[in-house]
Chain A
Amino acid sequence: MDTGHRRVGDQPWVRRTLIGIALLVALFMLVIPVVVIFAEAFSAGWSTFAGNVTDEYTVHAIGLTLFVAALTVPLNLVFGTALAWSVTRFRFPGRKLLITLIDIPFAVSPVIAGLLYLLLYGRNGWLGGWLASHDVQLMFSWPGIVMVTVFVTCPFVARELIPLMQQQGSEEEEAGVVLGASGWRIFRKITLPNIKWALIYGVVLTNARAVGEFGAVSVVSGNVRGETNTLPLHVELLYQDYNVVGAFASASLLAAIAMLTLVVKAFVEWRQSRPIVSTPEKEVS
């Protein structure tokens, strides 16, 4: 009898049951919904889909969504890198607190974040009133959307970088300084190559979230069709208009972006896990 060698859960029926449950859950919760999105989007045929997607308001929503992402990503790239750099390379009072504060956007519901911004920067808000008297309107226009999107996505880059930079330590950078390199040269030649893939990973996640954010944006955008309507908001509007096929057509665009993101993410993860041994083996004479 070799039952003594079996670990707990090694029996075939346990294995089969667990795998079966996992597959079933994945099928019903993940695969079927995604398939349905595309099935519904194309349910009235190609031409309807094309018509829905090229609809004036939809095109505007796509444009606005991409525009917001295009502003958010670089902002958070710079912010996240600077933040990760400062908390991993310097020791200062409040450093631990800062690391905790980075996570606030994860902890706070996006709707609440949107409300906070509305209270603060809205026409009747503390800062909003002063801004309004100077003819600056942030809420219910695209700057507000960008602001809340930046807020919601700001942990992604920093969160990716901090553990990596902590683990790598600052010895390489110190070696660079001792060898006489300028700060910029050290960043470009030593730091950046070391964090490159984590940075890209952070950007991919930031982008995915920036494109898909609904809650916070819906509070501050005002849902003006053709003006402050992002793609996720547009989906909801279409659905409320009983235009189910149109809603799914827009939703399929978001799903497509999401899947593209997953592909990029998978590639980056694969790249990250590879050790740096890519030189062609040279003949040693």
Chain B
Amino acid sequence: MSITIDQISKTFGRFHALRDVALDIPEGKLTALLGPSGSGKTTLLRIIAGLESSDSGRILFGGEDVSNLHVRDRNIGFVFQHYALFRHLTVAENIAFGLESLPRKQRPSKAEIRQRVEKLLEMIQLPQLADRYPAQLSGGQKQRVALARALATQPRILLLDEPFGALDAKVRKDLRRWLRALHDEFHFTSIFVTHDQEEALELSDQVVVMSQGQVEQVNTPTELYAKPESRFVFDFLGHVNVLSGAVKNQKLAQGDAWVSLPGHRSEQEAQLYLRPHEVHLARAPSVHARLPLRIDAVSLIGSEVRIELVPEGWHSEEIWEIGMSHNEFAQQNPSRGELWFAVPDVGHLFSGDNSQPKTVDWQYAEAANACNM
């Protein structure tokens, strides 16, 4: 069942939690609401669920306006951030709660409920814990029980609020994979809220990036990472290296650093955004860029070597990060305290107030130059 969010606004006192949010959540897909805390993502989720009312706008489930429908009647599954398991009921009783709350006419018989609960317990791989109380479960187990409880009434929509926030890294990874598999099997429409970009990119079919109560960008994880449409999305998804300065004579310059911008005629303040994998290190400046940096730290853990650098003779608000393969690292052997030059391959230029970036590709330019010669 698809969900349409139509011009939803919400204020808490003077705080604008959501401003005219419009969004389409496709049927059967796993959508992530991603944003920093205070961006309005949880509020939006709670409004979709009906736990919170919006000041204006409508929520539609499969084209039907449910804005005035009580939470009780929306037939959604909701997994709370801290699970919210009923502490005085056993695991089995927790899972059965939704079924037992159904109006008498729709309520399955006791035997049927027991059967359904058993099935769900199998699904979450915890049949041996049916008679335990929530206090006796680990975080991961609680999360599974919360999911089983939410799915017991077979909702068509599943909403999850920071589902993995309170778990440790290992359990989180396992559960993520498990949730993905579960979703692929049952195909309900799911929305989950997260502030973890990695989680959003890995788990979802569609990511909605939110900031200050507004939707910044909606796209598939791959597209989103490759083509961020605003500075905010750029900053929020992964590390980014920034050179901010003034453009003059087709060159972006600040202090001792400059980068050539072939064909860039307008002259104004601009920022060049570079992902760690879009830059490489060299002993000497290249033809199109001079970015002197001193190595501050080298991190060898992981599939890539991560090098942290501090600008030399120019200024950057955050440190620079450049990734290289272990192979390259072994050949070049950059070490702490040395002066190196960053050479950008591809970059994204934000100039003036223009929020859409322009992609600059030096590799392509060099190749073209080489052909012309």
Question: In the complex, what residues of A have CB within 8 A of residue B80's CB?
Answer: 171, 174-175
Q: Is B101 an interface residue (CB 8 A)?
A: yes
A141 at the interface (CB under 8 A from B): no
Contact B153 A279 (CB under 8 A): no
Interface check B86, CB cutoff 8 A:
yes
- 0/1 per residue, A169-188, Cβ < 8 Å to B? 00110111111111001000
Are A284 and B97 in touch, CB under 8 angstroms? no
B88 x A182 contact (CB < 8 A): no
A137 within 8 A of partner (CB)? no
The answer to whether A178 and B135 have CB atoms under 8 Å apart is no
Does A97 belong to the interface (CB within 8 Å)? no
Quick one: which of A175-229 are within 8 Å of B by CB? 175-182, 185, 189-190, 193-194
In contact, B87 and A276 (Cβ under 8 angstroms): yes
Known: A176-B101, A179-B97, A180-B101. 18 other contacts (CB 8 A): A171-B80, A171-B84, A172-B86, A174-B84, A175-B78, A175-B80, A175-B84, A178-B49, A179-B98, A179-B149, A179-B150, A179-B152, A180-B72, A193-B88, A276-B135, A277-B133, A279-B132, A279-B133
Contacts A171-B84, A172-B84, A172-B86 given; does A179 touch B101 at CB 8 Å: yes
Q: Is B218 interfacial (CB-CB < 8 Å)?
A: no
Q: Within the complex, what minimum Cβ distance (angstroms) separates A174 from chain B?
A: 6
Set B71, B72, B136, B152: member contacting A277, Cβ < 8 A:
B136
A282 interface residue, CB < 8 Å from B?
yes
Interface residue B76 (Cβ < 8 Å from any Cβ of A): yes
- Whether, in the assembled complex, A275 has its beta carbon less than 8 Å from a beta carbon of chain B, the answer is yes
**CB-defined contacts of A189 to chain B, threshold 8 Å:** 86, 89, 97
Report B-chain residues with C-beta under 8 Å of the C-beta of A176: 86, 97, 101
Inter-chain CA distance A178–B71, complex, in Å, is: 6
* CA gap between A267 and B101 in the complex, in Å: 34
Is there an interface contact between A182 and B101, defined as CB atoms closer than 8 Å? yes
Q: CA–CA, A3 to B68, complex, Å?
A: 72
With most chain B CB atoms within 10 A of its CB, the pick from A179, A181, A193, A276 is: A179
What would be 19 A-B contacts, judged by CB atoms less than 8 Å apart?
A: A174-B51, A174-B84, A175-B78, A175-B80, A175-B84, A176-B86, A177-B71, A178-B76, A179-B97, A180-B73, A180-B75, A182-B72, A189-B86, A193-B88, A194-B88, A276-B88, A279-B132, A282-B131, A284-B128
Partner of B72, one of A177, A194, A275, A284: A177
Chain B, Cβ-Cβ closest to A275: B135
**B82 close to chain A: CB less than 8 A:** yes
Q: Contact: A175 with B86, CB < 8 Å?
A: yes
Query: Which residues on the A side are within 8 Å of B86 (C-beta)?
Result: 172, 175-176, 189-190
Main secondary structure, interface of B, reads loop
What 0/1 readout, one digit per residue, does chain B (111-126) give for beta carbons within 8 Å of chain A?
0000000000000000
* Cβ of A7 to closest chain B Cβ, rounded Å: 34
Chain B residues, Cβ within 8 Å of A275? 135
Distance (whole angstroms) from the CB of B126 to the closest CB of chain A: 11
- A residues engaging B (CB < 8 A)? 171-172, 174-182, 185, 189-190, 193-194, 275-277, 279, 282, 284-285
Q: How far is the CB of A191 from chain B (nearest CB, A)?
A: 10
Of all A-B residue pairs in the complex, the 4 with the closest CB atoms, nearest first, are: A171-B84, A179-B98, A193-B88, A181-B101
CB-defined contacts of A276 to chain B, threshold 8 Å: 87-88, 133, 135
Report B-chain residues with C-beta under 8 Å of the C-beta of A180: 72-73, 75, 98, 101-102, 153
User: Which residues of A sit under 8 angstroms from B84, Cβ to Cβ?
Assistant: 171-172, 174-175
Complex CA gap A276/B150 in Å reads 23
* Chain B positions within 8 Å of A194 at CB level: 87-88
Contacts of B89 in A (CB 8 A): 189
Judge whether B97 and A181 touch: CB under 8 Å. yes
Quick one: closest B residue to A192, CB to CB? B88
Note all chain B residues with C-beta closer than 8 A to A179.
97-98, 101, 149-150, 152-153
State in angstroms the CA–CA spacing of A177 and B153 once bound together. 13
Contact B87 A181 (CB under 8 A): no
Contacts of B71 in A (CB 8 A): 177-178
* Residues of the B chain whose Cβ atoms lie less than 8 Å from the Cβ of A185: 101
The 0/1 profile, CB within 8 Å of A marked 1, for residues 261-305 of chain B is 000000000000000000000000000000000000000000000
> Taking the nearest CB of chain A, how far is it from the CB of B256, in angstroms?
55
Cβ of B90 within 8 Å of any chain A Cβ, yes or no, is yes
A-side contacts of B136, CB under 8 Å: 277
Considering only CB atoms, which chain B residue lies closest to A178 in the complex? B78
List, in ascending order, chain A residues with CB within 8 A of B132's CB. 279
Which residues of chain A are within 8 angstroms of B90 by Cβ–Cβ distance? 279
Could you tell me which residues of chain B, from 33 to 84, have a CB within 8 Å of some CB in chain A?
Answer: 49, 51, 71-73, 75-78, 80, 82, 84
CA distance in complex: A171, B161 (Å): 12
CA distance A82 to B234 in the complex (A): 50
Residues of B within 8 A of A282 (CB): 131
With both beta carbons as reference points, the residue of chain A lying nearest to B132 in the complex is identified as A279
Could you tell me the distance between the alpha carbons of A185 and B87 in the complex, rounded to whole angstroms? 16
A171→B128 CA distance, assembly (Å)? 26
Closest chain B residue to A174, Cβ basis: B51
Minimum CB–CB distance from A182 to chain B (whole Å) comes to 7
Contact of B51 among A172, A178, A190, A285 (CB under 8 A): A178
Q: How far is the CA of A142 from the CA of B133 in the complex (A)?
A: 48
Distance in angstroms between the alpha carbons of A282 and B132 in the assembled complex: 9
Smallest CB gap from B79: residue in A: A175
Task: Determine the distance from Cα of A174 to Cα of B88 in the docked complex, in whole angstroms.
Answer: 16
CB distance from B33 to the nearest CB of A (A): 18
Q: How far is the CB of A24 from chain B (nearest CB, A)?
A: 42
**A173–chain B nearest beta-carbon distance, Å:** 9
* Cα of A179 to Cα of B77 in the assembled complex, Å: 7
Smallest CB gap from A177: residue in B: B71
Alpha-carbon distance A116/B78, docked complex (angstroms): 51
A282 to B91, CA, bound (A): 14
